[in-house]
Amino acid sequence: MKIQHVCAYLEEFAPLRLAEDWDNVGLLLGDRERSVSRIMTCLTVTPESVAEAIDSQVDLIVTHHPLPFRAVQKITTDAASTRLILQLAQAGISIYSPHTAFDSTIEGINDQLAQSLNLNRIGPLKQSLDLPGAGPGRYGETGPFADLQSICDRMKSVLQVEKVQASEQENRAIKRLALACGSGGSFLATAAFRGCDALLTGEATFHSILEARALGIALILVGHFASERFAMERLAERMAGEFSDCDVWASRHERSPLSWY
């Protein structure tokens, strides 16, 4: 099997036209004609994930966060990000990133979060013009998890985190919930427009938290890592089922870079 076959599968699952204009998605490093038998997914390409990929003789890294992300003029060991690109290129390892296309696609990260909370009438916060049901963010009517505490408890168990944060001092009923994985503070106005009582996202700035309070929307912060890493584990399982000739796994050493003390 060739890199191109994996790219075609990922592009069908998360069409690249769904990615945001500012994003950098698809095959970012590599040769589509090269053969592939070992694939590792991860949230981010870091020195640790590069070392793991090289040690385990991976052919392709499927990373949620793109590398390179911004335009690069030099690929040397002088800067941390290009050093990683150079190491992977020298080891013959390709990089594919679906990023915001994966956030927004049907069965993508935000759909998976919405489904894990058993939301009803799930729809995108911003409808994609050419793919019904897809687009940035999700919102829906709450089902069995219909107040702040039960939503937080459910997320802790699904995402396997000890703690989550919320911008409220007391529990409150949540009838309509908005979701945006990663850093979703920019979706507050849309969540308000959609009549949502709460927005669940990975992380937000202090000023977004105050903006949420001013809008009367509860902000639930589960952590950027937790809000997306689980989906790279599920993507590895999905790809392992599709490509039975390949070994596919989610990085075994990747951890949240933050700890609770």
Which residues contact Zn ion by CB under 5 A? 182, 228
- Residue 235's CB is within 10 A of a number of other CB atoms, namely 24
Q: Which residues on adjacent β-strands are paired with residue 62?
A: 41, 96
**Is the CB of 14 or the CB of 174 nearer to Zn ion?**
14
198 vs 204: CA distance, rounded Å: 13
- Helix (H) / strand (E) containing 200: strand 198-203
Residue nearest to Zn ion (CB): 182
Longest dimension (CA), the chain: 56
Q: C-beta of 251: minimal distance to Zn ion in Å?
A: 15
Min separation Cβ 30 and Zn ion, Å? 22
Q: Which is nearer to Zn ion, 94 or 201 (CB)?
A: 201
> Which one, 197 or 228, has the nearer CB to Zn ion?
228
Q: Specify the residue for token string 């699952």.
A: 13
Alpha-carbon torsion, ordered 133, 135, 139, 145, to 10 deg: 80
In terms of phi and psi (left: phi > 0; alpha: psi -120 to 50; beta: otherwise), the region of 102 is alpha
**Nearest to Zn ion of 56, 165 (CB atom):** 165
Distance CA 85, CA 235 (A): 23
Nearer to Zn ion, 59 or 228 (CB): 228
Shortest Cβ 69–Zn ion spacing (Å): 11
> For the chain, what's the residue count?
261
Q: At what angle do helices 224-242 and 148-159 cross, to 10 degrees?
A: 50
CB of 229 to Zn ion, least distance (A): 9
CB of 182 to Zn ion, least distance (A): 3
Query: Smallest distance, Å, CB 6 to Zn ion?
Result: 21
Q: How many CB atoms lie within 10 A of CB 156?
A: 15
Is 145 or 230 the residue whose CB approaches Zn ion more closely? Answer: 230
